[in-house]
Amino acid sequence: MVGVKAQSTKQRRFKRTILVIFWSLLLFPGAAGARIPLAQTAHSCSSLRSMARIYMACGGYGKAQPLLKKALHLAEETNAPDTEVCACVIDLAYLYKEQGKLADAETMCQLGLELQQKVYHQDHPYVAYTLRILSEIYRGQGRYPEASSALERALDIVRRVSRGSEQEVAPFKVDMAHLLVAQGDYAQAESHFTEAIAVIEASYGPEHLYTAKVRTGLATLYALEGRYAEAEALVSETLPIQENIYGSEHHLLVPVRLVMARVYEAKGDLASARTLLEKCLQTVQGHADSGHLVAGDVLTQLARIHTLSRKYGEAEDLLQKALKILEDTQGAGSDRTALALNGLAHVYMGRGQCSKAQGLCDRALNLLESNLGTDHPRVAEVLETLVQLNRKAGNTTEATRLQRRMQEIRERRYVAYLPTAKTIE
């Protein structure tokens, strides 16, 4: 019986290893064909990069980083071909992106892109995959027009090179869906997700890790739209798949658990939401590889639960930490920073410090309107806070005007919403 159990464990580990390697190839198809120097050693550039990619595929960015730096140093010291140097640089760009080091990621990605276009040509498929990474970096920085431009160029290349192959195009559509979510175009985002998921599921199967990750993206969109039942259904399908691959305590499970926490909040189950978010916080704090943006999201969402529970001190501490992380990563003018400021405004409003809350709301609104335009669903969130502040101050005319504008945005964007501060009015 013990022998059977041990064999089963080995089979599961083998299966996980194969899936992890396959996932790494899926993430980095562009560099797979890079030419390797003829004089290889056990610690050649290519073998170092291969080991690093396996670590990156399972979220071990801290272990991957020294391998990639060593590979780049070795490539430079041995005068390796430009193809190998290029692959090292682009892998480092991807690593820095996942670590939340977006300025470093952009520098390396731009360098890799220049090398790539020199070694191959401007419309080579490898260039398309590098542009995809660059688009994700821009999206993380809140530079949405530049992200859209890079991704559109990547899509144009891959469509021409692959002759419209749906399987080749699908991952780029997923990235476009994420970008559209960030820009507040939820209807178009859902269309891109739906089209891509159909192709990905047909290609890799419904139980594949990549399928589960893409469906998590769709669940996040549903939660933002207030479609919590649909979000919960997707989470219940995708979470077990990801847990089976990564294990139940892995930091890469945080995004799907953030969606589930939103569902609990929508149901009024603040205790379950808090428990889940505290678990997410422990996970990201215990793993340097979790990424700064994810940590900021967890802190902001957990602070919201504390605010709804009238635990204003805890909420303020969490939001101040979130602001520090987000400002260090994205700068003081990002939309994520604006949402944290709006959360802090709720804290001060709950304490009766309405003047402070008003100032934070004004700052948040200015940031969002500058970055996202006046018609974004996130703008409506801040307007909702301003409605409550004006009601408290007895400014009924202004409250009515702001509420009308808030409702018009949500109606145009087809967004249901969860009232955010009933417990502190």
Say if CB 349 and CB 385 are below 8 A apart. yes
What local confidence, expressed as pLDDT, does residue 291 receive?
A: 59
Residue 162 in any domain: the answer is no
Say if CB 137 and CB 102 are below 8 A apart. yes
Q: Please spell the DSSP secondary structure of 75-124, one letter per residue.
A: HHHTT--HHHHHHHHHHHHHHHHHHT-HHHHHHHHHHHHHHHHHHS-TT-
Alpha carbons 105 and 107: distance in angstroms, whole number? 5
Residue 183: how many other CB atoms lie within 10 Å: 20
Alpha carbons 353 and 347: distance in angstroms, whole number? 9
Residue 327 in any domain: the answer is yes
Give pTM, 2 decimals.
Answer: 0.84
Q: Which two tokens stand for residue 127?
A: 């260039």
Residue span of the structural domain in which 325 resides: 291-425
CA 219 from centroid of its chain's CA atoms: 13
Q: Which two tokens stand for residue 200?
A: 């990905």
Say if CB 172 and CB 151 are below 8 A apart. yes
Residue 403 in any domain: the answer is yes
| Closest residue by Cα to residue 148 from 102, 122, 184 | 184
Residue 348 in any domain: the answer is yes
Q: Which two tokens stand for residue 265?
A: 């909040």
What local confidence, expressed as pLDDT, does residue 3 receive?
A: 44
Q: Specify the residue for token string 């009238």.
A: 310
Say if CB 88 and CB 37 are below 8 A apart. no
Q: Which two tokens stand for residue 316?
A: 């303020």
Residue 132 in any domain: the answer is no
| Closest residue by Cα to residue 110 from 84, 148, 138, 83 | 138
What local confidence, expressed as pLDDT, does residue 415 receive?
A: 64
Residue 3 in any domain: the answer is no
Residue 32: how many other CB atoms lie within 10 Å: 12
Q: 421 φ, ψ to 5°?
A: -140, 30
CB-based contacts of 82, cutoff 8 Å, min separation 6:
115, 118, 119
Residue 77 zone, left/alpha/beta (φ > 0; ψ -120 to 50; rest): alpha
Number of domains making up the chain: 1
Residue 258 in any domain: the answer is no
Is the four-CA dihedral 399, 401, 404, 408 of positive or negative sign? negative
CA neighbours closer than 13 Å in the CB half-sphere of residue 174: 25
| Closest residue by Cα to residue 300 from 282, 277, 275 | 277
Q: Which two tokens stand for residue 273?
A: 């939401």
pLDDT string in tens for the chain (425-residue length): 444 444 445 445 534 544 444 444 444 444 434 444 444 533 588 899 999 999 999 889 999 999 999 999 999 888 888 999 999 999 999 999 998 889 999 999 999 999 999 999 889 999 999 999 999 999 988 899 999 999 999 999 999 998 878 999 999 999 999 999 999 999 999 999 999 999 999 999 999 999 999 999 999 999 999 999 999 999 999 999 999 999 998 999 999 999 999 999 999 999 999 999 999 999 988 776 555 788 999 999 999 999 999 999 999 999 999 999 888 877 778 889 999 999 999 999 999 999 999 999 999 999 999 989 999 999 999 999 999 999 999 999 999 999 999 999 988 876 655 444 333 33
Residue 301 in any domain: the answer is yes
What is the CATH classification number for the domain harbouring 381?
1.25.40.10
